[in-house]
């Protein structure tokens, strides 16, 4: 049971490039989400999904796209990277019921130059 | 040692003393609260949670207190150890949007030998 797995761990992009951050969980969790964490700040919600085929926007969705074709995977796409997207990105999941804690991956550190 | 909400981002505590980390939340509709610990280079790790129908919950060396009247949450760590050094985040689940867990900006706990 690996929990939440994020790849890659590190990535450097040039402005305007696109890429996909991968997230997979093996706990059969219905709910998955993406957060970004900037230095000295808390985690801000980008997008989330309550189940396969369903996604919704969080606090800071602009510049990011998501899809949820399977229960296990929830990729985050940057269509045209900007320096403001330099951050550490965390994927998290939890069972579908409310009042349960999120389980986090170890993050992807993204630098956009 | 004691910190007050998010306005004092660092807390220094003598090893063996008790630590108290405070958090003020803003949404009276929040019905579920979680404390996370984040070590350098890792994702947030669940510590303890509490539902809004409770005012206290205890775990191993940790206690969470909830005061809904003043919208205040605290994490108490007994007999603080060097391994407790980390950034601690409180998070709230917004009942009005049951799928959103919103994080505070965190408190860094450092342990003096």
Rounded to whole angstroms, the Cα distance separating B64 from B76 reads: 6
CB of B32 within 8 Å of any CB in chain A? Answer: yes
Contacts of A105 in chain B (CB under 8 A): 43
Q: Is the pLDDT of residue A71 over 90?
A: yes
Residue A72 has pLDDT above 50, yes or no: yes
Mutate to test the interface with A, among B40, B73, B89, B99 (most CBs of A within 10 A): B99
Residues 6+ apart with CB under 8 A from A18: A77, A78, A79, A80, A81
The rounded percent of chain A whose pLDDT value lies above 70 is 98
Min Cα distance A29 → chain B (Å) is 13
Give dist(CA A23, CA A32) in Å, integer: 9
B91 CB neighbour count, 10 Å cutoff: 24
pLDDT in tens, A7-42: 999 999 999 999 999 999 999 999 999 999 987 778
What's the pLDDT tens digit per position in A80-93? 999 999 999 999 99
Contact A71, A49 (CB under 8 A): no
Of residues B45 and A99, more confidence is placed in B45
Answer yes or no: do A58 and B100 touch at CB < 8 A: yes
List B101's β-bridge partners, or say none.
B93
Chain A CB within 8 Å of residue B62 CB: no
The structure tokens listed for B89 are 């985040």
Higher pLDDT pick, A64 / A40: A64
Task: For residues A68 and A3, give the distance between their C-alpha atoms in angstroms, rounded to a whole number.
Answer: 18
Would you say the C-alpha torsion B61, B32, A21, A69 has a positive or negative sign?
A: positive
B112 reaches A (C-beta below 8 A): no
Indicate the DSSP class of residue B2.
B
- For β-strands B101-103 and A76-78, DSSP reports them as unpaired
Chain B contacts of A5, Cβ < 8 Å? none
- A1 pLDDT more than 80: no
SS3 B16: coil
The verdict on a CB contact (< 8 Å) between A43 and B93 is: no
- pLDDT tens by residue, chain B, 113 residues: 433 233 447 899 999 999 999 999 888 888 899 999 999 889 999 999 999 999 999 999 999 999 999 999 999 999 999 999 999 999 998 765 557 888 988 899 999 98
Where does the pLDDT of residue A64 fall: very low under 50, low under 70, confident under 90, or very high at 90 and above?
very high
HEC string for chain A:
CCCEEEECCEEEECCCCCEEEEEEECCCCCEEEEEEECCCCCEEEEEEEEECCEEEECCCCCCEEECCCCCCECCEEECCCCHHHCEEEEEEEECCCCCCCCEECCCEEEEEC
Across chain A, what does the average pLDDT equal? 94
């Amino acid at each position: 049971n690996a929990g939440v797995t994020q790849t890659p761990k590190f990535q450097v992009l040039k402005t305007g490039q696109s890429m996909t951050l991968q997230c997979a969980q093996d706990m059969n969790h219905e709910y998955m989400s993406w957060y970004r964490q900037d230095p000295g700040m808390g985690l801000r919600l980008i997008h989330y999904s309550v189940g396969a085929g369903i996604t919704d926007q969080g606090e800071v969705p602009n510049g990011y796209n998501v899809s949820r074709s399977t229960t296990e995977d929830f990729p985050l796409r940057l269509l045209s990277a900007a320096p403001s997207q330099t951050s550490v990105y965390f994927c998290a999941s939890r069972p579908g019921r409310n009042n349960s804690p999120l389980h986090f991956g170890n993050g992807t550190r993204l630098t956009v130059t | 040692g004691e910190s007050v909400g998010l306005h004092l981002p660092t807390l220094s505590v003598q090893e063996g003393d008790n630590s108290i980390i405070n958090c003020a939340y803003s949404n009276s509709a929040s019905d579920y609260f979680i404390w996370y610990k984040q070590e350098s280079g890792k994702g947030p790790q669940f510590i303890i949670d509490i539902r809004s129908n409770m005012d206290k919950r205890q775990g191993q060396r940790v206690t969470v207190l909830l005061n809904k009247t003043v919208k205040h949450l605290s994490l108490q760590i007994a007999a603080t150890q060097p391994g407790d050094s980390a950034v601690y985040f409180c998070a709230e689940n917004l009942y009005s949007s049951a799928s959103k867990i919103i994080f505070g900006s965190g408190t860094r706990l450092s342990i003096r030998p």
